[in-house]
Chains A and B, each alone.
Chain A
Amino acid sequence: MVNVDKLEFGIETFGDIVANEDGSLQSAAESIRQIIHEGEIADKYGIDVIGVGEHHRPDYSVSSPETVLAAIASVTKNIKLATAVTVLSSDDPVRVYERFATLDGLSNGRAQVMLGRGSFTESFPLFGYELTDYDDLFNEKLGLYDELRKEKAVTWSGKFRASLTDQEVYPKTEHGELETYIGIGGSPESIIRAVRFGYKVIIAIIGGQADRFKPYIELYHEAAKQLNKPEFPIAVHSHGFIADDKDAAIEVAFKNIKENFDRIGLTRGWAPMSREQFDSETKVGSFYVGDPETVAQRMARTINLLDLGRFDLVYGAGNQTAAQRERMIELYATKVIPRVKEILTEKEAAK
């Protein structure tokens, strides 16, 4: 049963390049500064979490999310500061720990680590890793990160990194442990892995209906029971766009999400997004697009269906203007979130 009082709501950005009103594009630097401002807005309106992605590509401005989060930390009070996600496979777990422990100190304990394999692969050649080691890299590094997270001296050896002997890593956090999620896509293996490490899980639903994840969530709980591991409410992240007018929202989202999707598709060899595909994603699929009421209804349905503890909406896909991005965050916080809670409270009462 959804616990409405404990339900968390987040926003996430991949650091897409912001557009000016005349359609020209801002620089990456300007786009980064815009995110700091958006973090401030989100905090002011009481959004629980802001997540910032890590990418190493021309169409995204952020490659060092913790640096951006540190700047957000200095202008906010309550909002949690997450990565979405940290590509652990091509990172050094010691550095990951150090950066997040630092962010945690700066922000009074608001740092939140989201570890994943990432859906892009630029970081592999960039940092000297082989894509064919994709699985092994993640498994090994997660193992080391898990040791470091205990904040005690670590003795460890592996294939991809120098070994550690009775090594302390600093700074220690005030709460003794960094809050950590594992971000997963559609692979059942990943669910089992997250359970084995006892971490919270955030599922990226970026295509198709949320319904198909119901059995995956069942798998999470079943595996946790079988392996005697803690069970946390599941979090989900999906793309969205909100505007005052429904049709306007759909047109802005179509243009931007399609551009974004097609540009990525070009390098991977998948076909451009058709209008039919987009429409089905916004009607019953993984895009939460429309006016506040439409988006609230669809989010409430997903949260209820999958029994979620947290929902993160990914904003800013493609090249949106600062005004579109900021208005979306405002509507999300002031209209959508309260409405989702209202719908869910009514649903719970009816049960």
Chain B
Amino acid sequence: MTIKKVGIIGAGKVGIVLADLALRAGYEVRISGSGSVGKIALIIKTLVPGAIASENSDVVANSDIILLAIPLSRYKNIDPALLRGKLVIDAMNYWWETDGIREEVLAPGLTSSEQVQAYFKDSALVKAFNHMGYHNLQEEAQPAGSPKRKALFVTGDDRTAVAEVAHFVDTMGFDQIVHYDLADGIMTEPGSPLFGASLKYDDLKDIIDHFDQTEFGKKIAASEK
């Protein structure tokens, strides 16, 4: 599939940056918040002129790829049927300041993206854009080949979907380290040395490849036993 139209659910800090990057990459962009178009129209017009302010259902209906950029504690406000059959990027993290107590948002023992995938069970979910801070995403996007280019971790269970997202990430201005296991999303969850970090390909790959040797990796391994 060629991706031409990008839909972003969530018109907050990350959603707006992703919209900006997608516009710069030449995509047609739709974006929605939790409420009416009126609530975000001026924000979109001023911050990301060219993006179409809309509502969730219209965004989904008219996009080839959907980015979830809403607080993790809110994903269940979206009807899974709405995203059926869609290619979906999960940019969400558990963040206690907005999401509250972890146990109330996530079941123990499963990574956040696995739970999001289980909920949107008829969508192909790929985790990406979650581990870099929003202003780094905005300021550090670079064309392929640039020596300053940073890398993002991309992972999911569906190989075709992962490949499509990896290509999409490339067009958005980042190198990719690709895995084919959604559970590996743990490597970039809060607590990981990659969460909030902004690294070039080699440095990111090095930590991913030796994840079990990081403090966080050891902790995760110990809790799995």
Q: Which residues of A contact B (CB under 8 A)?
A: 121, 130-132, 134, 186-189, 192, 207-209, 212, 215-216, 218-219, 222-223, 226, 265, 268-272, 274, 277
Q: A-facing mask of B12-50, CB < 8 A → 1, else 0?
A: 110010000000000000000000000000110011000
Closest to A284 in B: B139
Task: Tell me if B134 and A186 are in contact (CB < 8 A).
Answer: yes
User: What residues of B have a CB within 8 angstroms of the CB of A188 in the complex?
Assistant: 11-12, 16, 43, 47
Contact B47 A215 (CB under 8 A): yes
B142 within 8 A of A: no
- What is the bound-complex CA distance between A222 and B191, given in angstroms? 39
Chain A residues with CB under 8 A of B97: 121, 131, 134, 268
* Cα of A241 to Cα of B118 in the assembled complex, Å: 48
B-side interface size class: 20 to 34
* B46 contacts A218, C-beta separation under 8 Å: yes
Partner of B190, one of A134, A270, A272: A270
- Give the chain A neighbours of B139 by CB distance below 8 A: 208-209, 212
**A189 vs B13: C-alpha distance when bound (angstroms):** 9
Determine the chain A residues whose CB is within 8 A of the CB of B138 once the complex forms. 208, 212
Report the Cα distance A222→B41, complex, angstroms.
12
The interface residues of chain A lying within 8 Å CB-to-CB of B16 are 188
Contact B192 A269 (CB under 8 A): yes
| Chain A positions within 8 Å of B12 at CB level | 187-189
A-B contact pairs, 23 of them (CB 8 A): A130-B100, A131-B101, A132-B73, A186-B135, A187-B13, A188-B11, A208-B135, A208-B136, A209-B135, A212-B135, A212-B138, A212-B139, A215-B46, A215-B47, A216-B47, A219-B47, A222-B46, A268-B97, A268-B190, A269-B191, A269-B192, A271-B192, A274-B197
A to B contact number (C-beta, < 8 Å)? 75
Contact residue among B43, B136, B198 (Cβ-Cβ distance under 8 Å from A192): B43
Contacts from B to A (Cβ < 8 Å): 11-13, 16, 42-43, 46-47, 73, 95-101, 133-136, 138-139, 189-198
Contact across chains for A207 and B135 when beta carbons are under 8 A apart: yes
Rounded to whole angstroms, the CA-CA distance of A209 and B136 in the bound complex is: 10
**A216 cross-chain contacts in B, Cβ below 8 A:** 47
CA of A271 to CA of B195, assembled, Å: 6
CA distance in complex: A207, B136 (Å): 9
- Residue in B47, B100, B190 whose CB lies within 8 Å of A269: B190
Assembled-state Cα–Cα distance A219/B41 (Å)? 11
Q: Tell whether, in the assembled complex, residue A271 and residue B47 are in contact, meaning their CB atoms are under 8 Å apart.
A: no
Q: Is the CB of A271 within 8 A of B196?
A: yes
Q: Which residue of chain B has the shortest Cβ distance to A188 in the bound complex?
A: B43
A134:B98 contact, CB within 8 angstroms: yes
